[in-house]
Amino acid sequence: MYSLPSMPSTTSVLSTYTAFAASAMLVRSVFNEVQAVINQLIPQKLQERISSSLGRLFGDDSSRLTLIVNEYNGFSINEMYEASEVYLSTRVTRSIGQLKVFKDPGNKGLSVTINKGQQIIDTFEGIELAWEFASTETQQTVVDVETWSQSSEKTEHKTILLSFHKNHNEKVLNTFLPYVLERSKAIKNENRVLKLQALGNYQGVSLSHPSTFDTLAMDPVLKKEIMDDLDRFVKRKDFYLRVGKPWKRGYLLYGPPGTGKSSLIAAMANYLKFDIYDLELASLRGNSNLRSLLTSTTNRSIIVIEDIDCSIELQDRQHGAYIQGESQQLTLSGLLNFVDGLWSSCGDERIIVFTTNYKDKLDPALLRPGRMDMHIHMSYCTPCGFKILASNYLNVKNHSLFSQIEELIMEVEVTPAEVAEELMKNEDVDTALTGIIGFLERKKGMKRKQSGVEEQKVGDENQEENDKKNESQEMEEKCEKRKVKRNKRKMARRAKGRKQ
Ligand SMILES: Nc1ncnc2c1ncn2[C@@H]1O[C@H](COP(=O)(O)OP(=O)(O)OP(=O)(O)O)[C@@H](O)[C@H]1O
Ligand SMILES: [Mg+2]
């Protein structure tokens, strides 16, 4: 038969408690005595160091203050966490037994950090500071709204703890933490790997797009204008604050496929050392999702919405715009609210870029003056653009064949992407340039032939209209292909999400 274990009598519990309380008092009085001796004999800085170590030893934490720095603040990334993480990667000391080492693709060096539960002892202007990483996990049930299948997902909540002597509370908050923020910015700029994030699946990949303003084939005046605009933007924090405008800038890039819109975005990111967030509207579900995704982006970033004409089915603004093939609503005004900077909680130093092949197809609400700060036309290749490409790909600044090529480039519509492709076909300069001439001649011949046939068929007047139609059809096909590609990517991501 099962019998209950005998309960301790009240008197034995009391005597145990009394003995425990007596020993606790003894420990405290020893602690106080040692503290008093320290106060009399030792200089103040050393006193603090010894007393906080003793405090830890005797389980007395009353002399120390711990700041808790969580990775997220609601949906937003806590910049103090990010900055601390970057800063700490440079503060790893020899006393640490275990280190986590990783290398970001494209990063110049290795990144090192400590494991959960370990401490980094740091000093700042004579103050001793102890950093520690901590994390907890929670389990969440996720429902796929398409299949209604449920899965369970683990979420990790990461925290950095910073503890120090209470006397330095003000100094740490007012001087040290701002110093960590500044320092991390500098460290990031030194070793920067620009991140390219696909918003919606949170998978960051490093941006290894080599495009810079130097390699970009475009009108030099326009190029300079864009660079000046970016310079002005990053320098004008105080101006934006003074006039009460959110520190944001919007660019609309438009032009035919292959004229360098995506390359220009990469050049902007490389120039400013900003991260890129590629926002796929097709993978979003409604305004609240858009809002939470956007608030999860960091400052100093470029948010890109490519092919805005393909991403949003343009409908009457009153009725909202619908994501193609999705039942949930993402309104155009939801998007425009963001562009207008209504979400000032979203952070600072943001650039928003929309791209489109058809400017005319866009909702006028997007084109309204003041909505996007700069409309940038990316055009077919010009003679000047060709020279930049030849210098990039063949390392030639001048050549006897240049004038013939430049003449042809003025006659036919050729994109920088097409020229680049031709230039890559051969490393030998003469062969590559002769190849380009052949390519342009063929294009010119085709154009002539096409217009000859068309002339016979429909006569001169309809020619222009037909050209437009063909072009428009080509673009629509491209849009369609993109949609299919996007859907495939979305499905793959979902499948991957399900597997995890
Ligand atoms: N203006 C340019 N200067 C230098 N290279 C260019 C330029 N335009 C295109 N290229 C070359 O062609 C490739 C494709 O160009 P890019 O993706 O930037 O075009 P896009 O305008 O974004 O096209 P799409 O409308 O199809 O998205 C680039 O990777 C680059 O190699
Ligand atoms: Mg593009």
Ligand closest to CA 358 = 1
Q: Which ligand is nearest to the CA of 278?
A: 2
As a whole number, mean pLDDT of residues 277-302 equals 73
Report yes or no for ipTM above 0.90. Answer: yes
Taking the complete model, does pTM exceed 0.90, yes or no? no
The ligand with the least distance to the CA atom of 257 is 1
Q: How confident is the model at residue 396 (pLDDT cuts 50, 70, 90)?
A: very high
Taking CB atoms and a 6 Å cutoff, what residues make up the pocket around ligand 1? 215-218, 257-263, 357, 378, 416-417, 420
Question: How would residue 282 be classed by pLDDT, with cut points 50, 70 and 90?
Answer: low
Can you tell me the mean pLDDT for 75-100? 77
Cα(253) to ligand 2 centroid in Å equals: 10
User: Atom of ligand 1 at shortest distance to CA of 264?
Assistant: 18
| C-alpha 262 – ligand 2 centre gap (Å) | 4
Please report, for the chain, the start and end positions of each structural domain, with discontinuous segments joined by +: 45-193, 203-377, 383-458
- Ligand 2 geometric centre to CA of 261 (Å): 5
Average pLDDT, the chain: 74
Q: Residue 22: which pLDDT band, with cuts at 50, 70 and 90? A: very low
CB-side neighbour CA atoms (13 Å) of 384: 9
> Is the separation of the CB atoms in 389 and 217 below 8 Å?
yes
Distance, in Å, from the CA atom of 261 to the CA atom of 218, rounded to the nearest integer, reads: 10
Sign of the CA dihedral 119, 123, 129, 134? negative
- On the question of pLDDT at 58 being above 50, the answer is no
Identify the pLDDT of residue 327: 41
Highest mean pLDDT out of 40-54, 220-234, 299-313: 220-234
pLDDT at 102: 67
Contact 410, 379 (CB under 8 A): no
More confident residue, 375 or 197: 375
Amino acid at 457: K
Distance CA 181, CA 164 (A): 18
Structure tokens at 314: 């343009």
Locus of tokens 């849009």? 479
Strand 127-143 with 150-165, pairing: antiparallel
CATH of 203-377, picked from 1.25.40.340, 3.90.245.10, 3.40.50.300, 3.90.950.10, is 3.40.50.300
Q: How far apart are CA 186 and CA 476, in angstroms?
A: 45
Between 43-47, 225-229, 355-359, the lowest mean confidence (pLDDT) is in: 43-47
Strand partners, 150: 143
How far, in Å, is the centroid of ligand 1 from the Cα of 373?
22
pLDDT 10s digits, 194-236? 555 544 443 444 455 678 999 999 999 999 999 999 999 988 8
136-150, 214-228, 236-250: the lowest-pLDDT one:
136-150
Instruction: Please say if the pLDDT value at position 21 is more than 90.
Output: no
Nearest-CA residue for atom 7 of ligand 1: 260
Residue 96: its pLDDT value, please? 63
Alpha-carbon distance of 457 to 402, in angstroms, equals 37
Residue 179: the pLDDT is 93
Q: Is the pLDDT reported for residue 137 higher than 70?
A: yes
Higher pLDDT pick, 133 / 390: 390
From ligand 1's centre to the CA of 263, what distance in Å?
A: 5
d(CA 17, CA 12): 9
Residue 172: per-residue pLDDT: 95
Query: What's the pLDDT at 9?
Result: 40
Beta strands 119-124; 127-143: pairing state: antiparallel
pLDDT at 14: 36
In this prediction, residue 451 has a pLDDT band, given cuts at 50, 70 and 90, of confident
Entry field: residues in the chain = 500
Buried-state track 12-50, b at ≥16 Cβ within 10 A, e below 16: eeeeeeeeeeeeeeeeeeebeeebeebeeeeeeeebbbe
Res 486: pLDDT: 60
The rounded radius of gyration (Å) of the Cα atoms in the chain is 31
The answer to whether 281 and 311 are in contact (CB under 8 A) is yes
List, for residues 177-187, the tens digit of each pLDDT value.
Answer: 999 998 888 77
Which atom from ligand 1 is nearest to the alpha carbon of 417?
12
Our mutation pick for probing the ligand 1 site, out of 263, 353, 415, counting the most ligand atoms within 8 A of Cβ, is 263
